[in-house]
């Protein structure tokens, strides 16, 4: 048990970071802070992916240009796994695009409701429904 | 116009360098870390810095919003277009080997450069568009309107 | 743990900093401080990416996380509110319960993750390493990440570009890209 955790200690801490992000999403009623929590959660997921790609002693998967040109790439060179890097590279940019989308919705909500606290939002909605006589 | 002289002078120096670095990251992306996604964001940041220091009006003149609108679609179309070109040259969709008649690495290199250019255009335009979207708003009066 | 290298000690440093910043973000109610700390969080994550051997990801994360995200969150904060309401006790406990449940679930799965830093795990011996072997012969460019991104997984990347495009269109529709037309909107 101790060995299992010790060999995966980095993952364990990253999972704790994910849980911190999850707490921030649920505990706060402020929509901007909620987006911040989501982005913490997201960054932690990126870290988890990249951490699985780590190989001890290995650098980024980039060949030396001369080695490549002359076909003399050393057989025993160690590289980090490039596949998770590719997945996360695109995910980061998609992440900022979706973050912008969420924030745009928050700005529009603020313009119409005048608040971004979710309990006040549901109160306003409730009052509206009462006015309509539902 | 911002009253901060130091910021204005320093950013005048920095902004060309930011664009230069962005294009370096892009065109050197095959040999070193970088590529269309990172470069697009860096180039977008150059425009954002210009807008933050010199104001939205100056930025709208330098990089009109319709560039962003056109660029978003254009970048995605370049990417998809490369796929169709390879399709019509007898290969699979996005199979760059056929782009070179002799079927060497050259086809792959052409394809990767073209595709990364599409990514650069699209990401830059989206970043600028998103920033213009937020910066064009002003804070409305407090309290609910209805 | 065999074969550990110097980067492991960097890992501990980054872990402590990230945990500290994460917990501070939860405690703070001033949104300006929260947004700034989010930028710092992303920057430290980018530094960790370098130490983990993911240079391409680090460049992107530094530009996106510490640059664009911070600017966007600041803009959104200025357009909305500067202070968050303090967390109520009910929400606090509800969040803790959800967090504990999710935490137990992910830690139960922890043992199934590959051993950290080992080269012979299933994750690190499959397609990822095959890309490294095949890139010199098939693509012949030094940066394997670019080769995989643009060529081997080009279809995937095209989808991502379309998602970015869709998000850009969405923001432009919601926030009215050119900044004009606010009057007509009010006139409704």
- CATH code for position A20: 1.10.287.3510
Asked whether residue A30 is domain-assigned, the answer is: yes
**Based on the number of CB atoms within 10 Å of its own CB, is A67 exposed (0-12), middle (13-18) or buried (19 or more)?**
middle
Task: State how many domains chain A has.
Answer: 1
- C188 pLDDT higher than 70: no
Residue A29 lies in domain: 2-56+79-132
Q: How far is C-alpha B111 from the chain's CA centre?
A: 18
Strand-pairing partners, residue A117, are A30
Mean per-residue pLDDT for C122-144? Answer: 85
Locate the domains of chain B by residue range: 5-135
Q: What pLDDT was estimated at residue B140?
A: 67
Residue A67, in any domain of the structure: no
| pLDDT above 90 coverage of chain B, percent | 43
Tell me the two tokens of residue A114. Answer: 């005048």
pLDDT tens figures, A66-125 = 888 887 788 778 888 899 999 999 899 889 988 999 999 999 999 888 888 888 899 999
Rounded to an integer, the average pLDDT of A39-50 is 93
User: Confidence band (pLDDT; 50, 70, 90) for B15?
Assistant: very high
Q: Which token pair is B135?
A: 């910066």
Confidence of residue A42 (pLDDT cuts 50, 70, 90): very high
Answer with the residue of higher pLDDT: B138 or A99.
A99
CA dist C60 → A26, C46, C144, C187, C188 (Å): 28, 8, 16, 42, 42
Residue B142 near chain A (CB below 8 Å) = yes
The enclosing H or E element of B124 equals helix B105-135
Contact between residue B125 and residue C168 where contact means Cβ atoms under 8 Å apart: yes
Cβ neighbours for C155, distance < 8 A, ≥ 6 positions apart = B93, B94
- Is residue B134 within 8 A of residue C75, CB to CB? The reply is yes
Distance CA B128, CA A101 (A): 14
Radius of gyration of chain C (CA): 22
Task: State percent of chain C over pLDDT 90.
Answer: 41
Instruction: Please report, for residues A47, B91, C166, the alpha-carbon distance to residue B82 in angstroms, rounded to integers and kept in the order given.
Output: 33, 12, 20
Q: Is residue A66 part of a domain?
A: no
C118/A contact by beta carbon, under 8 A: yes
Q: How many Å lie between the alpha carbon of A53 and the closest alpha carbon of chain B?
A: 16
Is position A64 within any domain? no
pLDDT at C187: 40
Q: Does A80 touch chain C (CB under 8 A)?
A: yes
Kindly list the residues from chain B whose CB atom is less than 8 angstroms away from the CB atom of residue C141: 30-31, 108-109, 112
pLDDT tens per residue, range C8-42: 888 899 999 999 999 999 999 899 999 999 999 99
Per residue, the 3-state secondary structure of chain C, as one string, reads CCCCCCHHHHHHHHHHHHHHHHHHHHHCCEHHHHHHHHHHHHHHHHHHHHHCCCHHHHHHHHHHHHHHHHHHHHHHHHHCCCECCCCCHHHHHHHHHHHHHHHHHHHHCHHHCCCCCCCCCHHHHCHHHHHHHHHHHHCCCCEHHHHHHHHHCHHHHHHHHHHHHHHHHHHHHHHCCCCCCHHHHHCC
Best of C6, C144, C170, C176 to substitute, by most chain A Cβ atoms within 10 angstroms, is: C144
pLDDT at position B145: 43
Mean pLDDT over the full length of chain A: 89
The answer to the question of residue A71 being in a domain is no
Residue C91 to residue C97: CA distance in whole angstroms: 10
DSSP secondary structure code for residue A64 in this structure: -
- HEC per residue, C99-140: HHHHHHHHHHCHHHCCCCCCCCCHHHHCHHHHHHHHHHHHCC
Those residues whose C-beta lies under 8 Å from the C-beta of residue A100, and which sit 6 or more positions away, are B130, B133, B134, C72, C167, C171
């Amino acid at each position: 048990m101790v060995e299992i955790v010790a060999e995966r200690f980095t993952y364990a801490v990253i999972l704790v970071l994910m849980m911190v992000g999850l707490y921030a999403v649920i505990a706060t009623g402020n929509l901007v802070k909620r987006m911040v929590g989501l982005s913490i959660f997201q960054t932690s997921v990126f870290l988890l992916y990249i951490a699985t790609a780590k190989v001890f002693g290995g650098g980024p998967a980039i060949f030396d240009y001369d080695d490549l040109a002359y076909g003399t790439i050393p057989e025993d060179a160690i590289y980090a796994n490039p596949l998770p890097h590719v997945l996360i590279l695109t995910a980061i940019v998609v992440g900022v695009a979706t973050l912008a989308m969420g924030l745009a919705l928050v700005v529009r909500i603020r313009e119409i409701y005048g608040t971004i606290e979710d309990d006040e939002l549901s109160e306003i909605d409730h009052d509206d429904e009462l006015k309509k006589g539902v | 116009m911002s009253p901060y002289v130091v910021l204005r002078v320093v950013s005048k120096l920095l902004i060309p360098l930011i664009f230069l670095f962005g294009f370096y990251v892009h065109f050197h992306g095959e040999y070193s870390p970088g590529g269309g996604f990172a470069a697009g964001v860096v180039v977008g940041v150059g425009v954002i810095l210009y807008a933050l220091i010199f104001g939205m009006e100056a930025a709208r003149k330098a990089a009109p919003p319709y560039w962003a609108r056109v660029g978003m679609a254009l970048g995605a179309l370049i990417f998809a277009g490369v796929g169709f070109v390879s399709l019509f040259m007898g290969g699979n969709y996005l199979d760059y080997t056929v782009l070179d008649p002799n079927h060497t690495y050259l086809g792959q290199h052409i394809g990767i450069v073209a595709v990364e250019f599409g990514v650069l255009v699209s990401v830059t335009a989206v970043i600028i568009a998103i920033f213009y979207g937020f910066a064009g708003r002003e804070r409305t009066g407090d309290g609910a309107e209805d | 743990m065999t074969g550990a290298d110097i980067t492991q000690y960097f890992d501990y440093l980054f872990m402590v900093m990230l945990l500290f910043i994460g917990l501070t973000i939860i405690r703070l109610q001033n949104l300006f401080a929260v947004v700034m700390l989010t930028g710092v969080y992303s920057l430290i994550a980018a530094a960790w990416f370098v130490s983990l051997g993911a240079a391409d990801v680090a460049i992107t994360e530094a530009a996106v996380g510490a640059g664009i995200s911070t600017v966007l969150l600041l803009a959104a904060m200025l357009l909305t509110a500067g202070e968050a309401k303090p967390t109520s006790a009910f929400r606090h406990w509800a969040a803790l319960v959800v967090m504990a449940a999710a935490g137990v679930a992910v830690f139960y799965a922890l043992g199934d993750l590959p051993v950290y830093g080992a080269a012979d795990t299933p994750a690190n011996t499959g397609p990822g390493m095959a890309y490294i072997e095949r890139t010199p012969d098939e693509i012949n460019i030094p940066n394997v990440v670019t080769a995989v991104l643009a060529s081997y997984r080009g279809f995937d990347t095209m989808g991502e570009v379309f998602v970015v495009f869709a998000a850009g269109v969405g923001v432009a529709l919601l926030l009215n890209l050119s900044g004009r037309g606010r009057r007509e909107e009010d006139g409704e």
